[in-house]
Amino acid sequence: MRILVIGGAGTIGRAIVQAFGDAHDVIVASRSHGPLTVDLASPASVRELFQRTEPVDAIVCAAGQAKFAPLADLTDADFAFSLANKLMGQVSVVRFGLDAVRDGGSITLTSGVLAQQPMPGSAAISLVNAGVEGFARAAALEAPRGIRVNVVSPPWVSETLTAMGRDPSGGAPAAKVAQAYVDSVTGTQNGATIAVGVQA
C-alpha cells in the first residue's frame, strides 16, 4: 500500500513509519522536516499537501497541537490555537484528503485519552480530542467510494513521559501505539475510535 503519514517526524509518527516497514510505500509529511511539509492550522497548506501528493491507499494523521494549562489560565488565543491545529487541522485532512485516497482506502486521525479521562489542565485538549472523535464518526457515514475513517486514541506515550522525567510505566510504548494505526489501515473498522491501553 501507499500510505501518507502526516506527523511522521514525531514520536508516534516515527513509530508508525517503522511499523509499516518496507512492506509498504510510506510517504512522510511534517510541519518542518522532509520533502513534504504541512501546517495543519492552515487549510490552504493542507489543500496544497494533497495537490502535491499522488493518490494513496491510506492517510494517517499523527499530528496536531493543543494547549495544556489550567482552565482559568487558558486564553481565547489558546483555545483558537487548539481548535485550529488538532481539531480543524484534522477535519481539513479528511475534507481535502478524501479525493487523494483510492477506492476502499482509509483515513486515520488522532485524538487521545484525555477525551475520556480528563485531568486538571486538559480542558482545551479534552475539547479537541472529543471533537475529533465525534467528527470521525459522522464523516465515516459520508465518506465516498468505500473509504473508511477512524481515530486512534493514544494514552501518554512512554518515551514522552521519560523525556519529561516522569515514570514511563504510566504510558504505552510508541511501538504499541503505532500498531493501532496499522490495525486501522489494514482492518475493516469504520467510524471507530481505537483506544490504546497502557503497558501490557
Mean pLDDT of successive 10-residue stretches along the chain, which has 200 residues: 94 94 92 88 97 96 96 98 97 98 98 94 97 98 98 88 81 90 97 83
Helix (H, G, I), strand (E, B) or coil at 93: helix
Looking at 27-70, list the stretches that DSSP marks H as alpha helix, in order from N- to C-terminal side: 43-51
Q: Which residue segments constitute the domains of the chain, with CATH numbers given? A: 2-195 (3.40.50.720)
CA distances (Å), 42 to each of 45, 47, 48, 65, 81, in order? 5, 9, 10, 13, 11
- Closest among 27, 29, 50 to 38, alpha carbons compared: 29
Task: Name the amino acid, one letter, at 113.
Answer: V
pTM score: 0.94
Residue 145 · residue 122 · CB < 8 Å: no
